[in-house]
């Protein structure tokens, strides 16, 4: 039987991706990081499909199954500090400049 909503999640990859990362996108900085991670994540998915084909297997990995196997916290913290929004600012100044070195 045809399941419209499952097919939608496969045909429009952004819907499944942002649904998968929603529990981890708790702040605006995290949302921006995950928005930037969509394309690299999709590229890794295509790489997995290509790897299956190169091994002579029928590519049977689905986008939803691939997303379900991701460690989103690790992917977030693997990003550079600046990209994650963890940088010095007015409320978190670098003390080196406060003491005059």
Domain boundaries, the chain: 7-85
pLDDT tens profile 34-85: 999 999 999 999 999 999 999 999 999 999 999 999 999 999 989 888 777 7
CA distances from 27 to 31, 85, 92, 99, 100 (A): 6, 10, 17, 32, 34
Decide if 60 contacts 52 (C-beta within 8 A).
yes
pTM of the prediction? 0.75
Q: Sign of the C-alpha dihedral, residues 71, 21, 26, 92?
A: positive
Query: Which residues, at least 6 apart from 41, have a Cβ–Cβ distance to it below 8 Å?
Result: 17, 67, 70, 75
Tell whether the model's pLDDT for residue 97 goes beyond 80: no
């Amino acid at each position: 039987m045809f399941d419209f909503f499952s097919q939608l999640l496969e045909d429009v990859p952004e819907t499944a991706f942002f649904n998968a990362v929603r529990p981890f996108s708790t702040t605006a900085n995290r949302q921006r990081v995950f928005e930037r991670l969509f394309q690299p994540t999709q590229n890794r998915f295509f790489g997995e499909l290509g790897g299956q084909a190169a091994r002579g297997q029928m590519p049977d990995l689905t986008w939803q199954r691939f997303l379900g196997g991701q460690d989103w916290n690790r992917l977030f913290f693997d990003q550079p500090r600046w990209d994650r929004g963890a940088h010095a600012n007015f409320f978190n100044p670098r003390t080196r400049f406060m003491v005059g070195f």
